[in-house]
Amino acid sequence: MTNILLHERIEGVTLLTLNRPEVRNALNNPIVDALRDAILACESDDTRCIVITGAGGAFSSGADLKQAAGSAPDDVFSILTEHYAPCQQVIRGASMPVIAAVDGYAAGFGCDMACACDLRLVSERARFAELFIRVGLIPDGGGTYLLPRIVGLGRAMEMMMTGMDVAAEEAYRIGLANKILPTGTFREEVVNYALHISRQSPGALKRGKAAMLAALESSFSDSMRREAEHQRAILSGPDGLEGFLAFLEKRAPVWKG
């Protein structure tokens, strides 16, 4: 039986690859459950950065319509709330940085999954699409929450209402992609990017991510106080002065995490 989710560890980076290339990595209950469990496992090991990508020249074509076709509305509701939503919540809520490496198509729920990640690195052949409208549905992977926060309300509405394809250059222009990388060296450059992040202070990465996500739902004054609290916690920990000392001593920091 084919392993539907591939795991690879490169130093502090865990690379998770959706592995259903015959259907452009379409998602079903087993694969989203496996992805959720793999990310949760990273919380208890020494992973410092997670990369989610897809095999065979696609990120994900979205939910496997064969699973949904013919299902009763209540069954679809259960699939979304018991399998797909928990996976998205784990991606979004992971304590460490999560990168979507989009080489090829990220459509429907696959687009929403990429949006749930903290960063999106894309190849020159990457394309995003909120395809739901093409089959008479609305985004159901958190797209109504995530996409407007990334590209703005007007662009998000356009993607949702038209189902249009957004190519790599346009994705970068509107802020959907953080970086465009050459297709031929995509994997290598993604890994190098992730390794760079993984070598930063793990405490600062986790607390910085938590503070920024919390700030989306709070006031400016509350965000400032939260930043001060996180800063105090960092400086009170084992890595509190390491960054300063490494800078003064002109050496690479050694984080204890």
> What tokens appear for 166 in the block?
């957004």
What burial class does residue 165 get, using C-beta atoms within 10 Å of its C-beta: 0-12 exposed, 13-18 middle, 19+ buried?
middle
CATH no. for 5-198: 3.90.226.10
Q: What is the pLDDT of residue 68?
A: 73
Query: Stretch 104-117: mean pLDDT, rounded?
Result: 98
Percent of the chain with pLDDT over 90: 93
Q: What is the pLDDT of residue 65?
A: 82
What is the H or E stretch that residue 181 is in? strand 179-181
Total residue length of the chain = 257
Q: What is the pLDDT of residue 193?
A: 98
pLDDT tens, 183-240? 999 999 999 999 999 999 999 999 999 999 999 999 999 999 999 999 999 999 989 8
The torsion of the CA quartet 189, 190, 192, 196, rounded to 10 degrees, works out to 140
What is the H or E stretch that residue 148 is in? helix 143-151
pLDDT tens, 42-81? 999 999 999 999 999 999 999 998 777 778 999 999 999 9
Angle between helices 85-93 and 29-42 (to 10 degrees): 20
Q: What is the pLDDT of residue 208?
A: 97
Tally of CA atoms within 13 A in the half-sphere of 80 that contains its CB:
16
Place of tokens 């990429």: 114
pLDDT tens, 82-100? 999 999 999 999 999 999 9
Distance of CA 252 to the CA centre of its chain: 28
Domain ranges of the chain: 5-198, 202-248
Using CA atoms, how far apart are residues 155 and 153, in angstroms rounded to an integer? 6
Q: What angle do CA 248, 253, 255 make, to 5 degrees?
A: 140
Among the listed residues 57, 39, 58, 36, the one whose alpha carbon sits nearest the alpha carbon of residue 49: 39
Q: What is the pLDDT of residue 67?
A: 74
Q: How many CB atoms lie within 10 A of CB 163?
A: 16
Is 1 a residue whose pLDDT tops 50? no
Distances (CA, A) of 4 to 49, 161, 242: 21, 32, 41
pLDDT tens, 133-158? 999 999 999 999 999 999 999 999 99
Q: What is the average pLDDT score of the chain?
A: 96
CB-based contact 18:55 (threshold 8 Å) = yes
Using CA atoms, how far apart are residues 162 and 18, in angstroms rounded to an integer? 27
